[in-house]
């Protein structure tokens, strides 16, 4: 379910440690998805910013995963987050960025003033937050990218409604016990802030359980890595990344 106090969940050392060392432990489901995303993101940045390296603005940067994924390809990076604990972990992880604590609500945060093109990244935020946080996050992106020439936005939906993950939700007597976000919801949210989707890519067709089954896990991981490269698979993927640009 959408968590109205989502920001609070990341304001303590236990949650930060769990995120960094359990959720993203080497070899885990999230870690493998991140490896795939890293290659894709680096190709997107090389393609979209062939002439001039962008400044990256990573909203809800947490421990700096998306920033470290692009090390060497951006001119400079700024990370924005509500949790000083997550930002402290980003520093410990060697994230090369200027980090900014922002409020959970209120006026849309101001992006750091920089010249040249911009890349806004937003990973693992939209799914679990309420509509007000989603709108505010996209308003930040629109402020940072005022027109189509300003750069690109990359956002992750790590709980696509039209995916295998949805079947698990239905097994629980029709009661949803985790959040889901549909492709249409993402597109409408982007449109409201003047963005159109220019690319979409899936990074896992399977749910985490498949990566842990004793006899199946090796085959499942390999097959999943291949399946999410097939044309059209993003529509059914659990984890989807969107590349978007302002329409005007
Ligand atoms: C699941 S973590 C994702 C971190 C990072 N983007 C990643 O993908 O690894 C969600 C992050 O969103 C931050 N957050 C929660 N509410 C927020 C808000 N209203 N504005 C900005 N960041 C927020 C949390 O502090 C946390 O670091």
pTM: 0.94
pLDDT tens sequence across 94-142: 999 999 999 999 999 999 988 899 999 999 999 999 999 999 999 999 9
pLDDT tens sequence across 197-208: 999 999 999 988
Tokens of 192: 């409201």
The pLDDT value recorded for residue 113 is: 86
Least confident residue range of 9-23, 126-140, 205-219: 205-219
Residue having the nearest C-alpha atom to atom 13 of ligand 1: 60
Residue having the nearest C-alpha atom to atom 18 of ligand 1: 104
Neighbours of 232 (CB within 10 A): 7
The pLDDT value recorded for residue 55 is: 98
Residues of the chain with pLDDT > 70, as a percent, come to 94
The pLDDT value recorded for residue 2 is: 63
| Residue 110 lies inside a defined structural domain of this protein | yes
CA atoms of 168 and 208, how far apart (whole Å): 12
Rounded (5°) CA angle 128-108-141: 70
Q: For residue 77, give its domain range.
A: 6-246
Q: How far is the CA of 38 from the centre of ligand 1 (A)?
A: 18
- Residue of 17, 63, 82, 101 to mutate, ligand 1, most atoms within 8 A of C-beta: 82
The pLDDT value recorded for residue 135 is: 97
CA atoms of 46 and 57, how far apart (whole Å): 17
Q: How far is the CA of 23 from the centre of ligand 1 (A)?
A: 14
Give phi and psi for 120, each to the nearest 5.
-100, 130
Give phi and psi for 37, each to the nearest 5.
-60, -40
Residue having the nearest C-alpha atom to atom 12 of ligand 1: 60
Domain count, the chain: 1
Q: Which residues line ligand 1 (CB under 6 A)?
A: 6-7, 10, 60-63, 65-66, 81-83, 86, 102, 104, 123-125, 129, 133
The pLDDT value recorded for residue 1 is: 62
- Residue of 60, 77, 104, 111 to mutate, ligand 1, most atoms within 8 A of C-beta: 60
Report CA-CA distances (Å) from 60 to 10, 68, 88, 171, 230: 11, 14, 13, 32, 30
Average confidence (pLDDT) over 164-180: 66
The pLDDT value recorded for residue 242 is: 98
The pLDDT value recorded for residue 123 is: 98
Residue having the nearest C-alpha atom to atom 15 of ligand 1: 7
| Residue 185 lies inside a defined structural domain of this protein | yes
Q: How far is the CA of 162 from the centre of ligand 1 (A)?
A: 24
Question: What is the β-pairing status of strands 195-204 and 239-246?
Answer: antiparallel
Q: How far is the CA of 215 from the centre of ligand 1 (A)?
A: 35
pLDDT tens sequence across 184-195: 999 999 999 999
CATH code of 186's domain: 3.40.50.150
Q: How far is the CA of 223 from the centre of ligand 1 (A)?
A: 30
The pLDDT value recorded for residue 209 is: 85
Of residues 169 and 37, more confidence is placed in 37
Q: How far is the CA of 231 from the centre of ligand 1 (A)?
A: 30
239, 156 contact by CB (below 8 A): yes
| Residue 1 lies inside a defined structural domain of this protein | no
The pLDDT value recorded for residue 171 is: 54
Cβ neighbours for 186, distance < 8 A, ≥ 6 positions apart: 126, 155, 157, 197, 240, 242
Closest CA to 141 of 79, 58, 74: 58
């Amino acid at each position: 379910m959408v968590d109205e106090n989502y920001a609070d969940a990341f304001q303590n050392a236990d949650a930060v440690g769990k995120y960094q060392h359990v959720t993203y432990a080497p070899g885990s489901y999230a870690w493998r998805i991140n490896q795939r995303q890293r290659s894709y993101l680096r190709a997107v940045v090389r393609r979209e910013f062939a002439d001039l390296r962008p400044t990256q603005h990573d909203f809800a940067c947490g421990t700096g995963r998306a920033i470290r994924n692009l090390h060497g390809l951006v001119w400079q990076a700024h990370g924005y987050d509500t949790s000083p604990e997550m930002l402290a972990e980003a520093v410990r992880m060697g994230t090369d960025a200027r980090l900014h604590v922002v409020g959970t609500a209120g006026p849309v945060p101001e992006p750091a003033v920089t010249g040249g093109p911009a890349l806004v990244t937003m990973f693992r935020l939209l799914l679990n937050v309420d509509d007000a946080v989603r709108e505010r996050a996209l308003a930040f992106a629109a402020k940072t990218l005022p027109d189509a020439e300003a750069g690109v936005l990359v956002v992750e939906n790590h709980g696509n409604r039209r995916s295998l993950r949805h079947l698990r939700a239905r097994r629980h007597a029709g009661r949803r016990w985790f959040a889901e976000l549909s492709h249409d919801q993402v597109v409408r949210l982007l449109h409201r802030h003047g963005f159109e989707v220019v690319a979409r890519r899936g990074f896992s067709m399977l749910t985490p359980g498949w990566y842990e089954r004793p006899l199946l896990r090796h085959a499942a991981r390999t097959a999943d890595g291949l399946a999410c490269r097939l044309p059209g698979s993003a529509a059914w993927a659990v984890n989807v990344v969107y590349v978007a640009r302002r329409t005007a």
